[in-house]
Amino acid sequence: MNARQHGSDEMVIVGLGLCTPLGLTARTTQVEMAAGTVRFFETGVLDATGEPVRASVLKLLDPRLSRTERMVSLAVTALQEALKEVAPHDLAHLPLLLALPEPGSGAPFDMEAVRGVLNRAAAPVRLEVSKDALFHEGRAGLFRALAEATQILKSRQASWVLVGGVDSMCDRQSLAHHARTGRTLGPGTPDGILPGEGAGFILLTSTELSRQRRLKSRGRVLGCALSHEPHSFLQRKPNMAEGLTNAFRQLRLHPLTGARRVDHILSCQTGETFWAQEFNYAYLRNAALMPEPLTMSQVAESLGDAGAAAGAIQLGSALHLLGRLEKSSEEPVRILIYGCADAGQTGACIIEGDT
């Protein structure tokens, strides 16, 4: 069966909002990431060697803010941008599926406070946020949200769905936590992370409604894949990349992808060796899906470890990259995005542009 015959399973991206240390809008963040801009700063928190922890921090935010306060500030800015493309009366009741930090990834945060502020910021749009729509899966959370959004649109439970991710590891308590556990990159930890923060929201609808309303499509989500790694980062066991291999295999065999190679890969992972080895194994087992030659970018190159926000940020980066690559392509460009949580949750998706 031809991939286009499955059009009802596609999701069209009609709105995007991003807020990161590189910019307060999607456009600024996209352009700065594409240019290779980095903004890593020394913080007031010291690691075990007495050196300041470096992080990708939004300098406009007071360093004394809590994790909850930083997440709220980032999320509100990105949320309001994502909702601009569609008239509020069309979005009267809008399901929100949200990727959130993993347990133990830093300071605790007040989810009810986050939810309350987002509802007020979305007005007059009323967000519908159930506990089942909150995914505490870190870098893998956005892919769970996209998979759920597919089912909502396919079953016509709603005409629009908002998915997003928000995280901050740049509050003092979270920075101290990562320094104390030896996770931060520094003289004593050459295989560590640079903590980051950010937020992103994506407004989705069906292909059918997009055509009826003549909405401008930023891109399409062709397929999502979810899996789990039994030998996760937290277990400190040899990484066999079973979860990521399975996620890539699902996309390679997905009816919408038509067994075509993707043109580029965007990773939500950090630069740690564990994740590099995991990708290498999964890549070799799914070579038919991968770009030839291999081209890949990591969110950590520009923004450090953005945690639960990484998926939304990389999706935004993918939409910008689609426009650049389409100029030299005769068929729709495809970009694979993937993310793996420290606890083993794994997700991936393929984004396609319009010819």
* CATH among 3.40.50.2300, 1.10.357.10, 3.40.47.10, 2.60.260.20 for 3-213: 3.40.47.10
pLDDT band at 6 (very low <50, low <70, confident <90, very high): very low
Which among 45, 298, 345, 16 is positioned nearest to 186, based on CA atoms? Answer: 45
Task: Name the pTM for this structure.
Answer: 0.95
Residue where the block lists tokens 């929201």: 201
User: Dihedral angle at the C-alpha atoms of 230, 234, 237, 238, nearest 10 degrees?
Assistant: 80
Domain with CATH 3.40.47.10 in the chain: 3-213, 219-352
Residue where the block lists tokens 């997905």: 254
Q: Check residue 181 and report its DSSP letter.
A: T
Category of 284 on φ-ψ map: left (φ > 0), alpha (ψ -120 to 50) or beta = alpha
CA gap 322, 162 in Å, rounded = 21
Task: Report whether 300 contacts 36 (CB < 8 A).
Answer: no
pLDDT at 324: 84
pLDDT at 75: 98
pLDDT at position 5 over 50:
no
More confident residue, 89 or 210: 210
pLDDT band at 9 (very low <50, low <70, confident <90, very high): low
Fill in the amino acid letter for 176: A
Q: Which fold has domain 219-352?
A: Peroxisomal Thiolase; Chain A, domain 1 (3.40.47)
Residue where the block lists tokens 């956005």: 142
Q: Do you find a cis peptide bond into 124, omega within 30 degrees of 0?
A: yes
